[in-house]
Amino acid sequence: MKKWENVTRGISFVIVLTLLPPYLEKIGISFWLIGLCIFAVVYCVFFIVSKIEFLQKSVSNKVGWLTFIAVSIIITVLFEFILK
């Protein structure tokens, strides 16, 4: 059994890696600073997610993986076709 927290961490990781680097490149931040910003944002999001009580509930592996894959696909498709 997994927790919803783990699924949310994976989804937030996909969101940060998909949306943050292009934005930081547009405003002209260097490669190393982009990496540092991504690390800091992911660390802060993981900390916040660990404090949310609802996400501590168990979920089956099948439902967790299906949720993660579906949300990841939706986020990347939205980013490629709508936000760019």
pLDDT band at 84; cut points 50, 70, 90: low
**Can you give the pLDDT at residue 1?**
54
> What is the pLDDT of the chain when averaged over all its residues?
88
> pLDDT per residue over 22-31, tens digit each?
888 888 888 8
Q: Are 79 and 21 in contact (CB under 8 A)?
A: no
Sign of CA dihedral 37, 38, 43, 45: positive
> pLDDT per residue over 45-64, tens digit each?
999 999 989 888 999 999 99
- Above 80 in pLDDT, residue 34? yes
* DSSP H/E element including 58: strand 58-59
